[in-house]
Amino acid sequence: MKQTLITLVEDKPGVLNRIASLFRRRNFNIVSVVSGSSETPGIARLTIVVDEVDRSKRGTIYYNLLNLVNVIAVKDVSELPCITRQFILVKIEANTEKFNEIEYIVNNYGAKVVENSSESIIVEAADEKEILDQLVASLEPYNITEIMRTGKMSMRKGMTHNVSSDNTKSKLEKWQPEKINVYHN
């Protein structure tokens, strides 16, 4: 199983570069990064997926990430219950003849046709990786011309940590002990 890290960072120029540079120079295999704003202004939340199974190496990755000055907190959610999503856009050649079939597949996957013109059909979907893989396979016979998909986003189930806009610091301090113990027993 791959390692999934939810990471809070200061939203400053170059922070993504610092993370990418760390992974490159430490020879960690990055699979995907999804970055965007969080519920708190000035703080971004990332989902980073790493191809590493060895537990002690996972610890090294975790702590190296944590050591970056602009990284506020890291949570390894690889083995925790999470909602995970990827987003995909699939472009298919226009096909009036079989549009009904395509629409049936799309509806079946909870996906959506977001463009239907004389040239092309664009389908969007957000789901777990495996489901999206199946969707792509089902659409394969209709001549896919372009695929654009994001990496994985994860969110832990239940009430866990929040970086609320008020009182950010005290909430983060409660995080600290958790930072230390994950890999050390």
Partner 1 sequence: MNKKQLTGAEIIWDCVAKEDVSVVFGYPGGAILPAYDALEKYRDKIHHVLVRHEQGATHMADGFARASGKVGVAMATSGPGATNMITGLATAMMDSIPIVCITGQVPSSVIGTDAFQEIDITGATLPVTKHNYLVMDINELASTIKEAFHVARSGRPGPVLIDIPKDIQNESIDYSYPEDLVELPGEVKSQGANEEQVKIFAEMLKASKRPFILAGHGVIMSEATSNLMKMSEKAQIPIGTTLLGIGGVPKSNPLVVGWMGMHGDSWVNQAIQKADLLIACGMRFDDRVTGNLKTYSPNSKKIHIEIDPSEINKNVRVDLPILGDLNEVLYQVLPHLDNEDHSTWFDQINEWKRESTSRDIIHQNTDTLMGAHVLRKIWEGTKGDALIVTDVGQHQMLEAQYYEHNDPRTLLTSGGLGTMGFSLPAGIGASFHEKEREVWIIVGDGSFQMTMTELGTAVQENRNINIAIINNGYLGLVRQWQEMFYDARYSETPIISPDYIKLADAYGIKAFRVKKLNDVLPTMRKVQEQKGPSLIEFVVEKQDMVYPMVPTGADLHEMIERPASTNNLKKTIREEESLV
Binder to partner 1 among 5, 49, 50, 73 (CB under 8 A)?
73
Of 57 and 91, CB closest to partner 1: 57
Residue 126's beta-bridge partner residues? 87
Handedness of CA 166, 169, 173, 176 (dihedral sign): positive
Q: Does 180 bind partner 1 (CB under 8 A)?
A: yes
Binder to partner 1 among 27, 56, 117, 118 (CB under 8 A)?
56
Q: Does 21 bind partner 1 (CB under 8 A)?
A: yes
Q: Does 176 bind partner 1 (CB under 8 A)?
A: yes
Of 70 and 84, CB closest to partner 1: 70
Q: CA 69, 158, 10: angle at the middle one, nearest 5?
A: 15
Q: Rounded to a whole number, what is the distance in angstroms from the first to the last CA of the chain?
A: 20
The piece of 61-69, 85-93, 123-131, 133-141 that touches partner 1 (CB under 8 A) is 61-69
The rounded radius of gyration (Å) of the Cα atoms in the chain is: 20
Owner of token pair 């600290």 = 176
Q: Does 117 bind partner 1 (CB under 8 A)?
A: no
Binder to partner 1 among 35, 38, 64, 116 (CB under 8 A)?
64
- Determine the Cα–Cα distance for residues 110 and 36; give it in Å rounded to an integer: 24
Binder to partner 1 among 16, 30, 34, 68 (CB under 8 A)?
68
Residue 132 is given by DSSP the state H
- Determine the Cα–Cα distance for residues 184 and 141; give it in Å rounded to an integer: 50
Owner of token pair 């975790």 = 62
Q: Does 18 bind partner 1 (CB under 8 A)?
A: yes
Which residues contact partner 1 (rule: CB under 8 A)? Answer: 9-10, 14, 17-18, 21, 25, 56, 59-60, 63-64, 66-73, 168-169, 172, 176-177, 179-180, 183-184
